[in-house]
Structures are given as C-alpha cells and as structure tokens.
Amino acid sequence: MNNRKLNQLFNAAKTETPAAPNEGFAFLVMQQIQRNPARADLAISDVISMWFPRLAMVAAAVIAICVVSEMVFSSNAPSLSESAAQLSEPLVAEN
Amino acid sequence: MTAVVASPLACFAEHRADKLKRAFPTERPVSDDAELLQRIRSGAPEEFAELVRRHQSHVYAILYRYERDHHRLEDLAQDTFLKAWRSLEQFDGRAPFQHWLSKIAVHAALDHLRKQKRSQKEIGFPELGEDALEWLHNDNKQSDLEASQAREILANAMRKLSPEDQLVLTLLEIEDRSVKEISTLTGWTAVTVRVRALRARARLKKALEGSK
C-alpha cells in the first residue's frame, strides 16, 4: 500500500456528505433534559481552573512584591558579618 | 410661545425614546451564543433548544465520521448535547461555545469508539467488489476507485485500529485539522498527536495490506 493510494482513500472520505439531523432533534434533546434537568455543580477544581490565569498572575505579583520589599529592606539593614561582629564584640571585650 | 418651546422638547423626547428603543428593543432576536447562555444561566433553560438548533449540524458533521447508522448517530449527538447541558457551568466563555462543544463531541466520539471496540469480536474484511480487490492488490494500478468503494475500504480498515488511532487519523487526514487544533480538541500534547498520527498511519497501511 503506497502513500498515493492511502491519500486516495482519505480524499474519498473527505467528499462524503455529512448526515443531517432530523427536524425535531432539538425537541428530543430538550425532552431528555426535562427528564433529567440536573446540571453538575462546579467542583473546586473547576472554579480554580476557571480562575487559573488570573490567580496565577495575582500569585506572581504577590511573590514579586515580597521579593522587591525584601531586597529594599535588607539593603538598609547591616550585613550578616556586621551583625555577627556586633554581637561578638562584648564577648571579645570580656575575654 | 409655549408651543415653540414644547416642539423641540417633544422632538428631543421622541428622539431619545427612539434611541432607547433601538438600544433595548423589547423582543430582539438573540444574536450570539453568549447572550443565550446568559439567559439559560439566569433561569431560562428552554433557550438551550435554540443553542441545539444552532449547533446540531456542526455536531453531526463531527460525529458522522465515527458512526454511520443514523439512529446511533442521533443518540450520540443527543448524548453530546446532554453532556454539554450538564457541564454548562464549566463553560467560562473564553473560547467560542462551538469550540467547547466540539471538544465534548470529540470525547463522545472517542468513548463511542472505545465501547464499540470492547463489544467488537473478530473483524473480518467484508466482501469487497472485484475492482476494489484488484485496486488493493496492485500497487501500480493507476485507475481510480469509486468514491463509495474507497470509503468502504477505509472504514473497514479503520475499524481494525485502536479508537485513538481512528480519531487522530480522522481529524488529521480526513478533516484536515492542524496538530494544534487536534491537541486542543483531544487534550493530548502536540508531540503525542504527531507520534500517534505517524504510528496510526503505519498501522492503517498494515491493516489495508492485511485485507488483501
């Protein structure tokens, strides 16, 4: 079976006319719905996935704010070695 | 004097009323799906019938590739709309309603193929006409096969494949959908779609060769 033949089969399938629904099809669907009208409630996962892009953006913004504020505050504070030296100063003086 | 003053006022009022009427007509036709969905959500379930009428041909056009029997096709289409009804709350309106419905239809088709496959026993290649057999036997034969015969051959060979293979070949080779579209419809990654399509094509060739 070569590709040309295979494509010939696919092309024949492409030309097939789709079946059309009966005139009362919508009515039949509505009958089914009336028999069982319950619609599924939203699960938590659905709500999360519905809000996903917005939630993700808010979370990213919160993280960015935290990182920036941490950097700003830590730039004014003394470094770790300075703080250690300050703490150990009285001990060294005692000895 | 009063008449002179009242006239532009009356004109203004009339113009304003006309504008309002145009903006909020009392019985305007529902123009888009979003508005219909809004009505359904706010307590008018009967509006769903209009959605069904709008999209039934599209759903049939997707499903008839997987089920040829008209009654079973109707059941399948009904099932698709029922699933859409039941999960209507999950439709967030980010994509058009028809895309969302197409996804449901494709999944309904896949479930249907799986059920068929489970209940299927030995698949024999039914009697093909002499022309069709000769066409299948001879790789060098240049003559074209009749479209109905070609469809028959393809349908029989496809039945030998797995539901996933049938689905990917139908969407890619017959419906000419892009890999990205198939990925959206099925939920498979683009790589999975490509690999599956390649393997399915090879398996289909094998099935056709085995039918000789």
The pLDDT tens digits for A19-31 are 899 989 999 999 9
Q: What is the average pLDDT value for chain A, to the nearest integer?
A: 83
CA distance B83 to B193: 25
Most B-contacting residue of A7, A10, A41 (CB-CB within 10 A), to test interface: A10
Check residue B194 and give its pLDDT: 96
Which of A8, A20, A37 is opposite residue B145, by nearest beta carbon?
A: A8
Helix axes B33-41, B48-63, angle to 10 degrees: 120
- What are the strands, taking DSSP E only, across A11-84? none
How many other CB atoms sit within 10 Å of the CB of residue B49? Answer: 17
Q: At the topology level of CATH, where does B1-120 sit? A: Rna Polymerase Sigma Factor; Chain: A (1.10.1740)
Higher-confidence position of A89 and B29: A89
- The contacts of residue B193 (CB under 8 Å, 6+ apart) are B168, B172, B179, B182, B183, B186
A12, two tokens: 């024949």
CA distance A2 to chain B (A): 7
Is the ipTM, as predicted for this complex, more than 0.95?
A: no
Percent of chain B predicted with pLDDT > 70: 77
Could you tell me the pLDDT band of residue B60, with boundaries at 50, 70 and 90? very high
Could you tell me the pLDDT band of residue B45, with boundaries at 50, 70 and 90? confident
- In this predicted structure, the answer to whether residue A38 has a pLDDT above a threshold of 90 is no
How many other CB atoms sit within 10 Å of the CB of residue B185? Answer: 23
* Beta carbon pairs, A and B, within 8 Å: 106
| Contact flag B150-A50 (C-beta cutoff 8 Å) | no
- 20-49 in chain B: CB under 8 A from chain A: 45-46, 48-49
Task: Output the pTM of the full model.
Answer: 0.69
Closest by CA to B202, choosing from B181, B173, B182, is: B173
CA distance B194 to B180: 10
The pLDDT tens digits for B121-170 are 655 555 666 777 777 777 666 667 778 888 888 988 899 999 999 999 99
Could you tell me the pLDDT band of residue B23, with boundaries at 50, 70 and 90? very low
CA distance A65 to chain B (A): 29
Most A-contacting residue of B36, B174, B203 (CB-CB within 10 A), to test interface: B174
Most A-contacting residue of B154, B156, B158, B212 (CB-CB within 10 A), to test interface: B154
Percent of chain A predicted with pLDDT > 90: 25
Which of B70, B86, B147 is opposite residue A39, by nearest beta carbon?
A: B86
CATH of domain B128-212: 1.10.10.10
Q: Do domains B1-120 and B128-212 have the same CATH topology?
A: no
> Vertex B8, ends B7 and B14: CA angle to 5°?
90
Could you tell me the pLDDT band of residue A43, with boundaries at 50, 70 and 90? low
Which of B87, B153, B209 is opposite residue A9, by nearest beta carbon?
A: B153
Which of B61, B78, B154 is opposite residue A9, by nearest beta carbon?
A: B154
Average pLDDT over residues B101-121: 90
Check residue A64 and give its pLDDT: 95
Closest by CA to B56, choosing from A3, A85, A29, A21, is: A21
Could you tell me the pLDDT band of residue B83, with boundaries at 50, 70 and 90? very high
Check residue B125 and give its pLDDT: 58
**Domain ranges, ordered by start, for chain B:** 1-120, 128-212
Q: Is B128 on the interface with A (CB under 8 A)?
A: no
Q: Where are the alpha helices (DSSP H) in chain B?
A: 2-23, 33-41, 48-63, 70-86, 97-119, 130-137, 147-158, 163-169, 179-186, 190-210
How many other CB atoms sit within 10 Å of the CB of residue B204? Answer: 23
- The contacts of residue B82 (CB under 8 Å, 6+ apart) are A29, A32, A33
